[in-house]
Amino acid sequence: MNVLMLSPGYPADMPEFARGLAEHGARIVGIGDQSAADLPTLVQRSLEDYIQVRSLWDARQVVAEVHEKLRGRSLDRIECLWEPGIMLAAELRQHFGVDGLTIEQAHRFRDKEAMKKALDDAGIRTPKHVAANSVAAVWEAVQTIGLPIILKPIAGAGSADTYRIDSLDDLRAVLPRLRHVPMVSVEEFVDGEEYTFDTITINGQIAYYNIAWYRPRPLIARSNEWVSPQVIALRDVDQLELEAGVRMGYDVIAALGFDTGFTHMEWYRKADGEVVFGEIGARPPGAHQVDQMKYACDFDVFGAWGQAVTQHRIDASIQRSYNVATIYKRARGVGRIQSVEGVDELQRRFGQHVVWNTLLPPGTPRRDWRKTLVSDGFIMLRHPQLATTLEMADAVGSQLHLNAG
């Protein structure tokens, strides 16, 4: 199978996806705006060819350059697992006549308003929502929906430029921060626990899914620097409390016409048990949540995706053995990491359950916590029992400290 893969070297887990494709028989042509020499070694080993373009953000030019470079060669799939490239991949599919998400389908995954309208039409519960492209339109939408509301970019990813608005004073303060965003979604604030529904889908049928629990909700974590955000990949995805969310996930995949690949959905469960859709991307989750799936089930998720794409099946035996918690840490202070407190004691207590430690070492400049969930590193640990997993995660969150200065 000949596969064109957009941006195989970025973000951080793209090299593993390239490997997963190559190991299942794909002949991969990569396309990106970095030089071939700068690609990670794993990507270089996985690609058959690479096309460097001047910019991934000039779709017309990219299509022309790829057309010229691939003259006389056929393509079977065009894959993109990075949110900003989803529409470009659809345009390339249309140009080359390749199956997969069409431009219209991809638009519904990228445009949150179009996404919710399609799901409204399918009878799926979404937050009340209005698209707004001006300050006046936002004020009008707030009057229609009522407070509290959430403001977020129509075509955003994650919780960047996302704000909860509880009062008109909040709205006045936030609107100037969104001047760079051409279109926002004004939507009802849904009070509840927030989860994911992540899938590998084959010909519209879900072959594998994962549910992760955000502790606390991303909006809270993004608004408070002192928080150590947690993402918990759950072992027991069949528990009664999640049943309605799983059903909704299946309905969303069907309503949006997703065929083969990875999806990442977020949804809410209210105190009264009602489930409400959040949003969905035609891509895997970020911040190493795919690695969580790997450690939860002890299987090669990247390879399973590669086999789903190339052979339309998954042969791996998937057993849900562990809950997996990732605790993202933010240093206290500014400048470079000076010390790490509590790590030795926590290692003594929980070390056998830790599967990954990426904490920045002393001397490293701390990162801007507003721009990356990964922040100044994370601890990933696992345990069969959820209560024990949460106890360990909370200990890491409260007793491990990175100090900068």
Common-topology check for domains 2-100 and 128-188: no
At 207, the amino acid letter reads A
Average pLDDT over residues 241-256: 98
Per-residue pLDDT band for 159 (boundaries 50, 70, 90) equals low
Q: What percent of the chain has pLDDT over 70?
A: 99
Domain coordinates in residue numbering, the chain: 2-100, 128-188, 322-405
Which pLDDT score is estimated for 371? 87
pLDDT over threshold 70, residue 5: yes
Which pLDDT score is estimated for 157? 64
* CA torsion angle 108 114 118 124 (round to 10): 110
pLDDT over threshold 70, residue 182: yes
pLDDT over threshold 90, residue 156: no
Q: Are strands 323-328 and 230-233 parallel, antiparallel or unpaired?
A: antiparallel
Question: Which residues lie below 8 Å from residue 122, measured CB to CB, with a gap of 6+?
Answer: 251, 254, 255
Average pLDDT over residues 16-36: 97
Residue 190 DSSP code: P
CATH number, domain 2-100, options 3.30.750.80, 3.20.20.140, 3.40.50.20, 3.30.420.40:
3.40.50.20
pTM for the whole thing? 0.92
At 387, the amino acid letter reads A
pLDDT in tens, 201-240: 999 999 999 999 999 999 899 889 999 999 999 999 999 9
326-342 burial, b at 16+ Cβ within 10 Å, e below that, comes to bbbbbbbeeeebeebee
Question: Which residues lie below 8 Å from residue 236, measured CB to CB, with a gap of 6+?
Answer: 320, 386
Per-residue pLDDT band for 158 (boundaries 50, 70, 90) equals low
Average pLDDT over residues 153-163: 77
The class (CATH top level) of 128-188 is: alpha beta
